[in-house]
Structure formats: structure tokens, C-alpha cells
Amino acid sequence: MLSGVDDYKTDLEAMEKGADDYLIKSELTAQLLERTFRYSLKSKYLEAKLVKLAHHDSLTSLYNRSIFNELLIKTIQQSQRTGQKIALVTLDLDNFKFVNDNYGHPAGDQLLIKISQRLKHSTRSSDFVARLGGDEFSLLLKDVKNDSDFVKSVENIMDIFQEPFQIDNKSVSVTTSAGIAVFPTDAQTASELIDNSDRAMYQAKALGRNNYSFYNQKLHQEAIVKHQLELELNAAIDNNKLLLHYQPIIDLKTGNITSYEALLRWPDNKNGFRNTEEFIEVAEESSLILKIGDWVFKQACLQLNIWSEQGITDRHISINASANQFNSDDFTELVKKYVNETPDFAQKLTIEITERKPLEITSNIQIRLKVLSDLGIKFSVDDFGIGHSSISYLRAFPMDSIKIDKSIIQNILKFNEDLALCTAIIALGQALSLDVIAEGVETEEIANLLNSLDCPYAQGYLYSKPMPL
């Protein structure tokens, strides 16, 4: 660097001494410019190298402690603005001393480099990975949708220690203990987050090493259970373990069956079924609901096919779909594909969308529903009366029917408010030319009252429980 500066000075002096000859002068200027350019490139390179040295751990090239702390503070500030949760994961190898003592320090260094590479590989580019010193690493996980995603990420990190590391032709196994603290649930400042993540790591060591622990175990126990359920549900779909049961919808005037609602069933190991509402809720928080939606739709079409082959042509099926199935074109494309194969199936299908988690009124979603409705598919608002009960919702989408929630129906003989609500919904249906279906009808008395209120359709245990066909 100094020789560059000296050359520069000499050239300047040469110029100042004043070579009279213009040609010589311009030749000198050209040389000078070139050298200055090279010098500035070199200094930029050196500067970048210095910055890298200051920010990165020299052995593993991961971030070092000081820059990681700065990044943590910045990310916390961002998270305060966006409301997005972040997780700080502290890792401490369980048996690194053994590796150093038995294979030597160079092998220990090799191991740290290989672990760093696997850590970088197992995280997303937006996450930060640092070596804080010795055999201690820290990771900052961002852009996470929900708590069970933190569990997924931590399990990915733990998984990198499953395979032994190849060091000098030897297979070296090492495990880690990990502690996780989440901002803002577990801490309000960067240093509190670091302390709590450390505490969680010691908790994991106390659990018997090769383990991870969340600072707030109770809060995250739920996330761990959900994550487990997601894995099991995914396997159940792939192994064709799910079933559909069907419950008839009855025309109250004639007593005839007009349609069957398909309800998802997941058999447990004790000849019973897992709670549908519970596992649907977990599926809705992940992309599994899309997989389930596809599966249910295909099964419903298969059932229509079976009836059609048996010469039964007057049966309809209602399927349940979650609002987030309409957030991308995938579901509508799938439905279109199936229905185009057998066009009259479209006339026999109703899609029920719950009002508990309503569709967003956006032009994209309106277009998707319109495309399906133009094919002949009908739409029903499920659980009406306990959610927003919004009339603008009914106007925004091509709805054909409303299902009055069972919590209202089951109370119409007990409470005047529920009777008034039910009467008003039936009138709303008549005014907007929508069919109205009363859900959860369990007694003759309720069925008779609904009939006298001119409610056209009913569904419930009085007629049949959901059953396999």
C-alpha cells in the first residue's frame, strides 16, 4: 500500500518539475491515471478484506460475535416495526472437548468448519449464522409464519448432526444442545433475548444433551404438538389414511335427501377418529390444507363417478373448503381440470366456505369464485350467524345458500334471541334468493319449528350422523 503512495508522490513530483514536452507530459498523465486507478482498486479490495476480517470468524467465515450482536439489534428494531417474530437459537456442541483431546486441535478446527457449512446449508439465506467462539454458534431465524415453523427450523438444525463428519478419513460424531428464545414473546431487548436463549440451551443440556429447549417451554409445547400433528397428518394423506363420511341434507317439506355433505375423517389407533375441527385448524395454519383440499375434491368426484356408474344421477355433494384455498389459482385450476373431464359433475357440487375465517373480498378471489360458479359449481356460506354475518360478503361472492350455524339452531327452543336470529336469517335468504340450510338439527321439535318458519332445508343427527357411503 505504501509503495503505491510513494509511486504516486514521485509521479506528482515528476509532473511538477514540469516536463516541457507535451507528449511526455501526457504520457506521464496516462501512467499516473492508470496507477491511481489500480491503487484505488487495491485499496477497495483491502478495505473489503478488512471489513470481512472485522465481521467474520477467521476459521469458519461465519459472522463473529460483535457483528452478530449488531445484526440482532437491527433485526429486533425491524421486528418491532413489522410485528414479525424472530427466534434466537444458541448452540453448544456436547462433546467437542473429546474431539480435540482425541483427534487433535487441527481435526477440531476441521470439524468446526464442516459444522459451519452444514449450518449455512440448513438455514435460509435470510437467516444469520454466527460462531460466537469455541464450539458455540448462534442463529437468528426470521421470516417465520408461525411458532411451529420455529420448531421445524430447529429440527432441521438438529438434523445436521445426525450424519457423522468425515475428518481426515475418520468418521467423527458430535451432537449439540440448542436453546431457543423468541422475540417479542420471551424478551424485550437483544441482551435479554441472548440471556434467555442461553438459559434455554442450559435447560437442553440438563435434559440430557442432543436436545433442544425453548425458553418458554409451555408456550412452545403447543407448537411442538402442532408440528408433530402436521407431520402425522401429512403422512396420513400420503398413505391414504383419510376418509370421507357423508351426512345427508334434507328437504324439510318433502323429507327427501337433496345432497350429502362430505366430512373429513382421520381414524386414530383406537377404532375412533381424531377431532376433525382440531386437525383442520392445524392444517389451515400450514400448506397442508391445500393438499387436503385437493384430496377431498378428488374423492368427491370419485364418489360422483361411482354413483354415475350405478345409474344414480340425482345426488349432489357439498364439500368444505377453507378460505386460504382460494388465495392462489391452484385450487380453482384443479377444480376446473376435474370438472372439465366430467362437466355434469359441476352441477352436482357445492363448496361450503366457513364464515368463521371469511374470504378476503379481493378482485382475484372474486374472479376465481366466478370462474367456478360459471362452470355450474354452487357456493354456500357455512356457519352463518356466528362470524361476521356480513351482507356485503353475500353480495361480493356468487353465493347460492347459507347454512345457519348449529349453535343457533340448537337454542331456538330455549332462547328468544336465537329464534329471532334464525327467523331473520331465513328472511334474509328469501330476500336474496338464497337457499337456507339449518345445521345440527337433533330433535323433531326443532325440525317442526324450522318447517313452520319456512326454512327449506335441514341437516343433523335427527336424520343421520355422517356415515361412510
449 binds, among ligand C2E, Ca ion, none (CB under 5 to 8 A by kind): none
Nearer to ligand C2E by Cβ, of 229 and 441: the residue is: 441
Instruction: Find the helix or strand (DSSP H, E) in which 51 lies.
Output: helix 22-55
* Helix axis angle, 147-159 to 105-122, nearest 10°: 150
Nearer to ligand C2E by Cβ, of 195 and 294: the residue is: 294
Nearer to Ca ion by Cβ, of 110 and 320: the residue is: 320
Among 57, 382, 418, 435, binds Ca ion (CB under 5 A): 382
Query: What is the nearest approach in angstroms of ligand C2E to the Cβ of residue 263?
Result: 4
Q: What is the DSSP-derived secondary structure letter of residue 458?
A: E
Nearer to Ca ion by Cβ, of 186 and 352: the residue is: 352
Nearer to ligand C2E by Cβ, of 47 and 445: the residue is: 445
Nearer to Ca ion by Cβ, of 57 and 352: the residue is: 352
Task: Report the alpha-carbon angle 387-282-83, nearest 5.
Answer: 75
How many chain residues are in contact with Ca ion, going by CB under 5 A? 5
Q: What is the DSSP-derived secondary structure letter of residue 123?
A: S
Q: Distance of alpha carbon 137 from its chain centroid, rounded?
A: 26
For residue 238 the three cell numbers come to: 400420503
Query: What is the nearest approach in angstroms of ligand C2E to the Cβ of residue 447?
Result: 11
Q: Distance of alpha carbon 242 from its chain centroid, rounded?
A: 22
At residue 135, what is the residue type? D
Report the alpha-carbon distance of residue 19 to residue 17 in Å, rounded.
6
- Which x/- pattern over 292-331 shows residues binding Ca ion (rule: CB under 5 A)? ----------------------------x-----------
Q: 378 has which bridge partners?
A: 350
Task: Report the alpha-carbon angle 153-159-163, nearest 5.
Answer: 155
Query: What is the nearest approach in angstroms of Ca ion to the Cβ of residue 300?
Result: 13
Query: What is the nearest approach in angstroms of ligand C2E to the Cβ of residue 362?
Result: 20
Site residues, ligand C2E (CB under 6 A): 247, 263-264, 276-277, 280, 296, 320-322, 352, 354, 382-383, 406, 440-442, 460-461, 466
Q: 402 has which bridge partners?
A: 381, 436
- Using CB under 5 A as the binding rule, whether residue 355 contacts Ca ion is answered as no
108 binds, among ligand C2E, Ca ion, none (CB under 5 to 8 A by kind): none
Report the alpha-carbon distance of residue 62 to residue 4 in Å, rounded.
32
At residue 196, what is the residue type? N
